[in-house]
């Protein structure tokens, strides 16, 4: 009964989305205020029924109702209750339902916070969200219904949740990413609504900016958590694999990053309008493309769900409709928009254009790398696989000029600036940067690696540039600390965003060049020493969990005479799915991770043990957190909160 | 720029997308697990690899040919190989199929040996490809993969993914047995 209830609620949500897609648009065409103001209640209805449907599926999981196919395939009696809740999104149908819930939640949030927008514009934005909803609800109802029944053959026990996903990191990773992906649909809706109205002004950019930043924050955190999860759960010690699914989340992030910068230009200077709209359309399109790639089985990936051509067809058709119609609208409307603002070669506009070019190039690189195996096959050139070396090399060459520009960008004024006064501080900054980047590894590491120095140069250059910018900001003020505080959240958001990026670069450069990875044969009682760290294999114990049994190895780690700590590294066997999983033992501090993963048992009680020492690996994720905090500061800036009436505002230079 | 020229200029993103969509559409109808090896129709590339059991003994390309056979790429880190293994044993025991095992980038030699001791060894010859050299030459995408090789040592077919009853009955088995019918004058034509 609950399953039918959920199914019915989903159908009702679809009906609401259909009305939402049509009624407000009719209202705007006829100038009928009543129709337009229906957009909000319709949005709330869509959200409400999606929520009911989602709760119904969760209840089915909690009750272990194996008469529902989806529950039977992804849960079991032995599964703990908290994993039953997260099992809802552990496979295709349920994760789509969650996607829908998130989509409806964004729409509802928009409805709630769009009271300050002109009615016509708000009606259009919500209607676009409704149109996107129509496609997704139809997709679910036609091809991916999570409420299908197993009747009459009801299994006694379920097949259990995928063991890879039975982990705290996996509880938050997919929702964060979905909030990010779907959040880009808000930026998309703003862009399309602006195109419909034919008015691309700085007011539009200001409205859409906090929403875009919100989506970007979720994407940033989602990617970070995903990387962290892969790092300790897969037991390989890698933190990024350039897997098609990772790439599918990375591309929207790159575009969203370009978009928040380009929106800044549109908001403050009223230029780059068409470009900004194109980025907003591309960001969401790439989210959809990523979904298509993952769900259709076009590409083989470790994340892939079962391939089903009907689903692929539907998604591709939907992708086609969304992208073709929005790009056509773009061609018709944006081609009429002409910018009157002028700027010269050495200006912040041009530097931000540089930022955009590099980010878009990076996106294209990832897109090519992800799709090339597919093209290659289609063109009859045989199959190839593109792996890390390609991406690593391309990103290596892209990040150098990108970081260089990033250090200078904030120092340069809008419209035009004189390069002369900047040359001296920049030159000194460069000297300091290079000196620090060479000296730090000489002091703290046994060897100096060229690549590590280069990475440090990029990061320190960003620090130096940012610090100099802050100094310039307060140079004229009497009370400098107070002037710093008064800079405004959006300014500090930028500072943290850039600093976070530099922190991530440091993490990547140091872990890639100074990590140690050893695979050794160890039996209980054995010790192994590397870089002064002694790992002692104390004992092997059996552990029994609700749906797994494990061999848990206890290691004592000492450094010289000092005890560092102990770690437990497990080899878990999930009994229902008959899968082996590693639970990595980690001993961490900000400067290094000690990573112990159990490999195969080698007989005679000894094990292949993977021991890694990973300096600064935490910085990679910590940088992401700093970036996200920066985003949060930016989106809560005064000017997004206080502005009452929607009047097109002339750009205010910082 | 005239309004018309601007319009056409702004159409570029749409045109780029349409080009991409054609590829994505055709991608839907090709099974990614059915990867065409560039090597189908060509002889097995030259190699020199140690035996899995005896590290000091090496094999080279002369071990292929002479009769139709399968070359199976496997590893202990690959869960699908585990699933496939029972079926390979059955092929060996019941249908007397000649299979060469290529252990691909395994964690360690010991792990691979232990696996075969526990699960049974369906392979006539066991190659140990620690660095993945031969697998690279063969264009191996992942494990497991199975190549059908005719009596001249020419690769006739490549199957990506696990071997099971259905795949054997419908796809690989018929190709393998057809090689016996051509008895001796087997030409290495690509079989679909």
Q: Does one domain contain both B23 and B71?
A: no
Q: Does one domain contain both A194 and A140?
A: no
Selecting from A319, A332, A600 the residue whose C-beta is nearest the C-beta of B108 gives: A600
Selecting from B7, B33, B110 the residue whose C-beta is nearest the C-beta of A300 gives: B33
Domain presence at residue A236: yes
Q: How far is B35 from chain A (nearest CA, A)?
A: 6
* B17 and chain A in contact, CB less than 8 A: yes
Q: Does one domain contain both B150 and B62?
A: yes
- pLDDT tens digits for range B103-152: 887 767 888 888 888 888 999 999 998 777 787 777 776 667 889 998 88
Residue A428 backbone dihedrals phi, psi, to 5 degrees: -60, -45
Instruction: Spell out, as residue ranges, where chain B has pLDDT lower than 70.
Output: 1, 27-39, 77-79, 107, 141-143, 182-192
Q: Does one domain contain both A260 and A127?
A: no
Q: Does one domain contain both A278 and A367?
A: yes
* B32 and chain A in contact, CB less than 8 A: yes
A580 contacts in chain B (CB < 8 Å): 79
Domain presence at residue B39: no
Q: Does one domain contain both A237 and A317?
A: yes
For residues A282 and A251, give the distance between their C-alpha atoms in angstroms, rounded to a whole number. Answer: 10
Question: Do B27 and A374 count as a contact with CB atoms less than 8 A apart?
Answer: yes
Domain boundary among A368, A396, A417: A417
Smallest Cα–Cα separation from A338: which of A409, A414, A269, A273?
A273
Q: How far is B72 from chain A (nearest CA, A)?
A: 19
Q: Does one domain contain both B56 and B14?
A: no
Domain presence at residue A641: no
Residue A117 backbone dihedrals phi, psi, to 5 degrees: -80, 155
For residues A576 and A79, give the distance between their C-alpha atoms in angstroms, rounded to a whole number. Answer: 10
Q: Does one domain contain both B54 and B98?
A: yes
Q: Does one domain contain both B123 and B153?
A: yes
Q: Does one domain contain both A149 and A259?
A: no
* Sequence-distant (≥ 6) Cβ neighbours of residue B106 within 8 angstroms: B75, B76, B77, B112, B128, B130
Smallest Cα–Cα separation from A177: which of A208, A212, A215, A210?
A215
Question: Do A600 and B141 count as a contact with CB atoms less than 8 A apart?
Answer: no
Domain presence at residue A441: no
Mutation pick from B4, B13, B75 vs chain A, by most beta carbons of A within 10 Å, is B13
Domain presence at residue B81: yes
Selecting from A274, A327, A378 the residue whose C-beta is nearest the C-beta of B27 gives: A378
Question: Do B11 and A331 count as a contact with CB atoms less than 8 A apart?
Answer: yes
Domain presence at residue B40: no
Selecting from A316, A331, A600 the residue whose C-beta is nearest the C-beta of B7 gives: A331
Q: Does one domain contain both A143 and A260?
A: no
Selecting from B3, B9, B24 the residue whose C-beta is nearest the C-beta of A298 gives: B24
Closest alpha carbon within chain A to B37: A382
Domain presence at residue B104: yes
B110 contacts in chain A (CB < 8 Å): 600, 602-603, 608
Q: How far is A270 from chain B (nearest CA, A)?
A: 19
CATH number, residue A580? 2.60.98
Domain presence at residue A626: no
The number of folded domains in chain A is 3
The number of folded domains in chain B is 2
Mutation pick from A234, A300, A309, A606 vs chain B, by most beta carbons of B within 10 Å, is A300
Q: Does one domain contain both A189 and A334?
A: yes
Question: Do A332 and B7 count as a contact with CB atoms less than 8 A apart?
Answer: yes
DSSP string, A508-522: HHHHHHH-EEEEEEE
Question: Do A285 and B17 count as a contact with CB atoms less than 8 A apart?
Answer: yes
pLDDT along chain A (654 residues), means of 10: 93 97 93 90 97 96 91 88 90 89 95 89 95 94 88 78 78 87 93 89 88 95 90 77 84 96 89 90 91 66 49 84 92 81 83 92 90 67 61 89 91 83 88 91 83 93 93 82 84 95 95 87 90 91 88 91 90 79 87 88 82 92 96 88 47 37
Continuous H helices in A379-488: 388-408, 420-444, 450-474, 480-485
* B13 and chain A in contact, CB less than 8 A: yes
* B19 and chain A in contact, CB less than 8 A: no
Query: What 3-state DSSP class applies to A384?
Result: coil
B35 contacts in chain A (CB < 8 Å): 377, 383
Domain boundary among A417, A443, A473: A417
Q: What is the distance in angstroms between the CA of the first residue and the CA of the last residue of chain A? A: 59
* B16 and chain A in contact, CB less than 8 A: no
* B42 and chain A in contact, CB less than 8 A: no
**Token pair in block for residue A504:** 């991530």
Q: Does one domain contain both A175 and A157?
A: no
Q: How far is B45 from chain A (nearest CA, A)?
A: 17
Mutation pick from A324, A378, A604 vs chain B, by most beta carbons of B within 10 Å, is A378
The answer to whether the beta carbons of residues A425 and A408 sit under 8 Å apart is: no
Q: Does one domain contain both A320 and A371?
A: yes
Q: Does one domain contain both B14 and B52?
A: no
Q: Does one domain contain both B69 and B157?
A: yes
Q: Does one domain contain both A197 and A322?
A: yes
Domain presence at residue B35: no
Selecting from B14, B32, B38 the residue whose C-beta is nearest the C-beta of A298 gives: B32
A377 contacts in chain B (CB < 8 Å): 27, 30, 32, 35-36
Q: Does one domain contain both A262 and A327?
A: yes
Q: Does one domain contain both B109 and B57?
A: yes
Domain of residue A529, residue span: 516-618
Number of H helices, E strands in chain B: 7, 7
Determine the pLDDT at residue A319. 87
CATH number, residue B116? 3.40.30.10
Q: Does one domain contain both B114 and B164?
A: yes
Closest alpha carbon within chain A to B34: A383
Selecting from A300, A319, A320 the residue whose C-beta is nearest the C-beta of B32 gives: A300
Determine the pLDDT at residue A78. 87
Q: How far is B118 from chain A (nearest CA, A)?
A: 12
Q: How far is A181 from chain B (nearest CA, A)?
A: 19
- Residue pairs between chains A and B whose CB atoms are closer than 8 Å: 108
A274 contacts in chain B (CB < 8 Å): 10
Cis-peptide into A53, omega within 30 deg: no
Q: Does one domain contain both B81 and B166?
A: yes
Question: Do B108 and A384 count as a contact with CB atoms less than 8 A apart?
Answer: no
Q: Does one domain contain both B13 and B99?
A: no
Q: Does one domain contain both A380 and A233?
A: yes
Q: In chain B, helix, strand, coil percent, each to 5? A: 40, 20, 40
Q: How far is B136 from chain A (nearest CA, A)?
A: 11
Domain boundary among A161, A190, A223: A161
The model's pTM is: 0.80
Q: Does one domain contain both B25 and B83?
A: no
Q: How far is A596 from chain B (nearest CA, A)?
A: 15
Selecting from B28, B33, B36 the residue whose C-beta is nearest the C-beta of A382 gives: B36
**Token pair in block for residue A42:** 């319709």
Determine the pLDDT at residue A296. 63
Mutation pick from A374, A517, A577, A605 vs chain B, by most beta carbons of B within 10 Å, is A374
Question: Do B13 and A327 count as a contact with CB atoms less than 8 A apart?
Answer: yes
For residue B170, the 8-state DSSP code is: I
Report in angstroms the alpha-carbon separations of A569 from A133, A526, A529, A535, A589.
45, 15, 17, 12, 18
Question: Do B14 and A324 count as a contact with CB atoms less than 8 A apart?
Answer: yes
Domain presence at residue A438: no
Q: Which region holds residue A603: left if phi is over 0, alpha if psi is between -120 and 50, else beta? A: left
HSE value, Cβ hemisphere, 13 Å, CA-based, for B111: 22
Mutation pick from B7, B11, B14 vs chain A, by most beta carbons of A within 10 Å, is B14
Determine the pLDDT at residue A150. 77
Domain presence at residue B147: yes
Question: Strand A548-559 and strand A533-544: pairing?
Answer: antiparallel
Domain of residue B11, residue span: 1-30
Domain presence at residue B38: no
A600 contacts in chain B (CB < 8 Å): 76, 107-108, 110-111, 114
* B117 and chain A in contact, CB less than 8 A: no
């Amino acid at each position: 009964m609950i399953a039918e209830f959920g199914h019915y609620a989903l159908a009702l949500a679809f009906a609401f989305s259909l009305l939402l897609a049509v009624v407000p648009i009719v209202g705007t065409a006829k100038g009928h205020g009543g129709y337009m103001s229906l957009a909000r209640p319709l949005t709330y209805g869509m959200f409400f029924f999606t929520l009911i449907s989602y709760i119904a599926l969760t209840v089915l999981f909690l009750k272990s109702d194996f008469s529902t196919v989806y529950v039977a395939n992804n849960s079991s009696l032995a599964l703990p209750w908290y994993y039953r809740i997260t099992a809802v999104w552990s496979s295709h149908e349920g994760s789509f339902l969650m996607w829908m819930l998130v989509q409806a939640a964004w729409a509802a949030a928009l409805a709630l916070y769009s009271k300050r927008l002109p009615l016509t514009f708000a009606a259009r934005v919500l209607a676009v969200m409704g149109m996107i909803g129509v496609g997704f609800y139809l997709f679910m109802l036609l091809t991916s219904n999570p409420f299908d029944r197993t009747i009459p053959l009801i299994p006694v026990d379920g097949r259990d949740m995928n063991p890879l996903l039975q982990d705290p990191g996996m509880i938050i990773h997919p929702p964060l990413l979905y909030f990010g992906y779907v959040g880009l649909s808000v930026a998309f809706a703003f862009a399309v609504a602006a195109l419909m109205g034919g008015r691309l002004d700085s007011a539009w950019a200001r409205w859409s900016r906090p929403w875009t930043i919100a989506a970007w924050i979720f994407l940033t955190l989602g990617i970070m958590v995903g990387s962290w999860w892969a790092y300790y759960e897969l037991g390989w010690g890698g933190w990024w694999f350039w897997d098609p699914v990772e790439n599918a989340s990375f591309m929207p992030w790159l575009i969203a990053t370009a978009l928040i910068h380009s929106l800044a230009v549109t908001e403050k200077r009223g230029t780059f309008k068409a470009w900004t709209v194109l980025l907003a359309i591309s960001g969401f399109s790439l989210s959809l493309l990523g979904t298509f790639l993952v769900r259709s089985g076009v590409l083989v990936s470790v994340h892939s769900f079962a391939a089903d051509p009907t689903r692929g067809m539907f998604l591709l058709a939907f992708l086609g409709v969304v992208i073709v119609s929005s790009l056509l609208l773009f061609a018709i409307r944006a081609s009429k928009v002409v910018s009157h603002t002028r700027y010269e070669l050495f200006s912040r506009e041009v530097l931000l254009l540089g930022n955009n070019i590099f980010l878009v190039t990076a996106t294209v690189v990832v897109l090519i790398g992800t799709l090339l195996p597919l093209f290659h096959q289609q063109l009859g050139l045989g199959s190839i696989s593109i792996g890390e070396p390609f991406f690593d090399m391309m990103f290596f060459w892209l990040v150098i000029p990108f970081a260089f520009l990033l250090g200078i960008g904030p120092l340069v004024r809008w419209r035009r600036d004189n390069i002369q006064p900047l040359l001296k501080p920049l030159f000194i900054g460069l000297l300091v940067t290079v000196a620090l980047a060479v000296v730090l590894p000489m002091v703290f590491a046994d060897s100096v690696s060229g690549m590590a120095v280069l990475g440090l140069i990029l990061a320190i250059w960003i620090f130096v540039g940012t610090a100099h910018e802050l100094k310039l900001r307060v140079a004229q003020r009497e009370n400098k600390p107070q002037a710093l505080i008064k800079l405004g959240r959006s300014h500090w958001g930028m500072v943290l965003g850039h600093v976070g990026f530099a922190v991530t670069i440091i993490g990547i450069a140091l872990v890639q060049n100074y990590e140690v990875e050893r695979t050794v044969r160890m039996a209980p009682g054995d010790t192994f020493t590397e870089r002064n760290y002694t790992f002692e294999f104390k004992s092997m114990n059996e552990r029994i969990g609700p749906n797994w049994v494990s061999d848990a190895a206890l290691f004592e780690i000492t450094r010289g005479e000092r005890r560092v700590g102990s770690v437990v590294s497990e080899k878990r066997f999930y009994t229902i799915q008959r899968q082996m999983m590693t639970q990595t033992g980690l001993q961490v501090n900000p400067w290094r991770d000690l990573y112990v993963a159990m490999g195969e048992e080698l007989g005679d009680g000894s094990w292949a043990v993977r021991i890694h020492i990973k300096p600064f690996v935490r910085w990679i994720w910590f940088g992401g957190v700093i970036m996200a905090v920066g985003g949060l500061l930016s989106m809560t800036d005064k000017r997004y909160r206080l502005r009452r009436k929607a009047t097109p505002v002339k750009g205010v230079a910082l | 720029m005239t309004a018309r020229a601007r319009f056409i200029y702004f159409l570029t993103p749409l045109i780029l997308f349409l080009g991409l969509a054609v590829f994505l559409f055709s991608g839907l109808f090709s099974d990614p697990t059915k990867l065409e090896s560039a090597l189908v129709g060509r002889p097995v590339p030259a190699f020199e690899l140690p035996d899995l059991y005896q590290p000091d003994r090496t094999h080279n390309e002369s071990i292929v040919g002479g009769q139709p056979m399968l070359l199976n790429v496997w590893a202990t880190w690959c869960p699908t190989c585990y699933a496939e293994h029972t079926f390979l044993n059955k092929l060996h025991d019941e249908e007397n199929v000649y299979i060469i095992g290529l252990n691909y980038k395994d964690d360690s030699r010991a792990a691979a040996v232990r696996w075969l001791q526990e699960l049974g060894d369906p392979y006539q010859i066991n190659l140990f490809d620690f660095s993945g050299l031969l697998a690279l030459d063969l264009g191996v995408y992942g494990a497991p993969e199975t190549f059908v090789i005719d009596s001249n040592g020419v690769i006739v077919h490549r199957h990506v993914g696990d071997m099971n009853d259905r795949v054997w009955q419908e796809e690989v088995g018929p190709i393998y047995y057809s090689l016996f019918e051509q008895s001796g004058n087997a030409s290495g034509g690509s079989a679909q």
